[in-house]
Amino acid sequence: MIRAEHLSKVLSGVRAVDDVSFLIRRGEVVGFLGPNGAGKTTTLRMLAGVFPPSSGRAAIGGHDVVADALGARRHLGYLPERISLYLDMTVRSYLEYVAAMKEVARRLRPGAVDIVMQQCGVTTVARRSIGTLSKGYRQRIGLAQALIGDPEALLLDEPTAGLDPEQVAEIRALVRRLASTRAVLFSSHALGEVQVTCDRVIILSRGKILAEDAPAALAERLRTMTSITVEAEGPVDAIACAVSSVDGVRTVHRLTGSTGRIVRLRVETEPGRDLRPDLVRAVIDAGFTLLDLHADALSLEDAFLALIGRQTERP
Amino acid sequence: MKTLHIWRREFGAYFRSAFGFVVLAAFLLLSGYFFYSDLLFFFLWGGQSLHRGLWDHAFLDMRLVLLLVVPLITMRLFAEERKLGTMELLWTYPVTDRQIVAGKFLASFSFLLLMLTPTALYPQVVALLCPLSPGPLIAAYLGIVLLGTAFIACGMAASSITESQVLSAVLTYAVLVLSWFLTWNEAIASEPVMRGLLYLSLFDRFYGFVSGVIDTSDIAFFLVFIGFFLFLTLRVLESRSWRGVW
């Protein structure tokens, strides 16, 4: 439904998006994660037809976004990162205008507008001028315009930004409901949100896809590479030194909660190796008392940061 | 059809605030004042053919008022969308750049016609006082519509390159006033150059119409001028494909 093949975009000499490929099927919600400047918005804009890719191709509902731009846009609902609405129009007249632009038949327009207003909870402000409404309402109107015309593909750029927790929960539930018959790609900074809402996560950094998997699988896959908590009794420097000497340890951090001679350390290890036995031996051989040692379960946030961190460390 | 929806939104936008009413009132006030002065001049001082001379003066004055007013009409066309970011959404709907440009252009053109329509009362006032020959009047109206439309095309192109409405208006004034004044000072250029400037001057092309002469080459010139600035606007919109932002 939403297909990107080797998508790249060069803006002002900088490769903002670099060889990005993915496929999102009907019924799937895919989260687009990445730090600021990762290329999320640029990718979404190319998919939405705002501007064409420098190379590669993208298609919405089987229609190429460049060769058959209008065909692709007929299957598309897009919510931009910076929600932009005509502030001088009333909510209803604005949505009716959007319905006309999206080729909803004249006699179906009032009904189509009523449905999206109800879905997005803006019916009570239908006659108000958009300029007088709060950011939360404007965000919902933005989502409502994306839903008009019942598009099969939804591209939502940070749809819950600026909403209060209750509204965030509503929008998440709405996105889940909508996804049953649509392909949804939505970008977010909120990792928890992606974890709860999405079937799959695409992590983007510096324009490239770093990882793509289900949130739980992603965290699981990265589990082997990350951290082990060590609690031991003795001088902090000596214990840290003993732990650091183990082959495969990358970093050692002292954790808060260390009291007196009891030291808690977080040890980050190389991927694909279980260093727990080596660490147990290292602490005991150095003559200290080992109180606790366990591998930390990784949240998606940890996985995300670990991935981004790895990317940053590359020369 | 979508051009029509864009036209309706844009034309409606003039009247969703006081802006459209104020501009309309200002235009009618100024052009009415000029017409009244010209009429008094001809009746009190006479000396020239009223049929020719009155319209000559009245439409040359109206040209000045249009020069003042049209950049205000066109300044928001794209600059406002650029500032609000609404173009980004418009581009994701199944609508072409041509339809967008056409809808906006026609909205300003409609506003121009709306401004000019009440001025049709002026000849009727004259007709009460003396017999009226419609020929020169038709030529003058054709000229003023073409001139106003050329101003709109120029103003729309200026509006497409900036997100500041003020800058858009100033830029339009600069281009139009320069194209007017450039032919005033013959000392600034050699004769062949000046002949070229006169040939390209919007305002010199307008003189034929107010004299009651409809020359197809003048009409063609205005149409080419308008087409050039519409083309320029389209190219600016398309620049998003390599600039990334707009």
Share of chain B above pLDDT 70, in %: 92
Judge whether residue B189 has pLDDT over 90. Answer: no
pLDDT of residue A145: 94
In this prediction, residue B76 carries a pLDDT of 92
DSSP string for residues in B68-130: HHHHHHHTHHHHHHHHHTHHHHHTTSS--HHHHHHHHHHHHHHHHHHHHGGGGHHHHHHHHHS
Q: What is the pLDDT of residue A147?
A: 93
CA distance A268 to chain B (A): 40
Give chain A positions within 8 Å (CB) of B243: 11-12
| Cβ–Cβ pairs < 8 A, chains A and B | 72
- Does the CB of B90 have a partner CB in chain A at under 8 Å? yes
Q: What is the DSSP letter of A258?
A: -
> What does the mean pLDDT of chain B come to?
88
Answer whether A101 sits within 8 Å of B244, measured CB to CB: no
Task: Please enumerate in sequence order all residues whose Cβ is within 8 A of that of B70, keeping only pairs 6 or more positions apart, or say none.
Answer: B108, B112, B148, B151, B152, B155, B172
**Which of B3, B4, B78, B93 would you mutate first to test chain A, the one with the most A CBs within 10 A?**
B93
Over the stretch A88-105, which tens digit does the pLDDT of each residue have?
999 999 999 999 999 999
Report how far residue A233's alpha carbon sits from residue A254's, in angstroms, rounded to the nearest whole number.
13
Q: Note which residues in 187-246 of chain B have CB less than 8 A from chain A.
A: 240-241, 243-245
Distant-in-sequence, close-in-space partners of A281: CB < 8 Å, separation ≥ 6: none
pLDDT digits (tens, 9 = 90+) for A255-270: 876 667 888 898 888 7
Which amino acid is it at B149? Answer: T
What number is the average pLDDT over the span A37-60? Answer: 90
Cα separation, B142 vs B136, in Å, equals 10
Q: Looking at the predicted structure, is the pLDDT value of residue A196 above 90?
A: no
- pLDDT over threshold 50, residue B235: yes
Top-tier CATH class for A227-297:
alpha beta
Give the pLDDT of residue B46. Answer: 64
Query: What is the predicted pLDDT for the residue at A107?
Result: 93
B98 interfaces chain A, CB cutoff of 8 Å? no
Mean pLDDT is lowest, of A145-159, A226-240, B33-47, B113-127, for B33-47
Is the pLDDT at B81 greater than 60, yes or no?
A: yes
Q: Specify the pLDDT at position B223.
A: 95
Average pLDDT, chain A: 85
The sheet carrying A289-295 orders its strands as A249-254, A262-269, A227-233, A289-295
pLDDT, average across residues B110-137 = 87
Query: What's the confidence (pLDDT) of residue A168?
Result: 83
Where along chain A do its domains lie?
Answer: 2-220, 227-297
Confidence of residue A314 (pLDDT cuts 50, 70, 90): very low
Residue B245 clears pLDDT 80, i.e. is over it: no
Whether domain A2-220 has CATH 3.40.630.10: the reply is no
Percent of chain A at pLDDT > 90 equals 38
pLDDT at residue A282, as a whole number: 92
Looking at the domain assignment, is residue B42 inside a domain? yes
Domain assignment of residue B128, given as a range:
2-241
A82, A100, A145 member nearest B5 (Cβ): A100
Position B146 scores a pLDDT of 96
Domain count across chain B: 1
Answer whether B94 sits within 8 Å of A42, measured CB to CB.
no
* Share in percent of chain B as helix, strand, coil (round to 5): 85, 0, 15
- Closest-CA residue of chain B to A72: B94
Q: Does B9 touch chain A (CB under 8 A)?
A: yes
Asked if residue B159 is part of any domain, the answer here is yes
A16 or B52, greater pLDDT: A16
B198 pLDDT band, cuts 50/70/90, is: confident
Band (pLDDT 50/70/90 cuts) for residue A302 is: low
Residue A96 contacts residue A145 (beta carbons within 8 Å): no
Report CB contact under 8 Å: A74, B17.
no
Mean pLDDT for B215-244 is 89
Chain A residue numbers touching B88 (CB-CB < 8 A)? 45, 50, 80, 82, 84
Can you give the pLDDT at residue B224?
94
Classify residue B243 by its DSSP letter: H
Q: How would you label A80-95 residue by residue, b for 16+ Cβ within 10 Å and e otherwise?
A: bbebbbbbbbbbbbbb
Which residues sit opposite A267 in a β-bridge? A228, A252
CA distance B32 to chain A (A): 31
What is the pLDDT, as a whole number, of residue B72?
95
Highest mean pLDDT among A163-177, A225-239, A240-254, B149-163: B149-163
Report which of residues A74 and A161 the model is more confident about: A74
**Subunit contact A9:B244, Cβ cutoff 8 A:** yes
How is B113-141 classified by DSSP, letter by letter?
HHHHGGGGHHHHHHHHHS---HHHHHHHH
What would the mean pLDDT of B202-228 be, rounded to a whole number?
Answer: 89
* Position with higher pLDDT, A272 vs A111: A111
Query: ipTM surpassing 0.95, yes or no?
Result: no
**Does B246 map to a domain?**
no
Q: Distance (Å) from the C-alpha of residue B65 to the closest C-alpha of chain A? A: 28
The string of pLDDT tens digits covering residues B29-67 is 999 999 888 888 877 776 556 666 777 888 889 999 999
Give pLDDT, residue A313.
Answer: 45
Q: What's the pLDDT at B187?
A: 66
Identify the three-state secondary structure at position A5: strand
| B45 part of a folded domain | yes
H or E, element range at A268:
strand A262-269
Q: Say what the pLDDT of residue A315 is.
A: 36
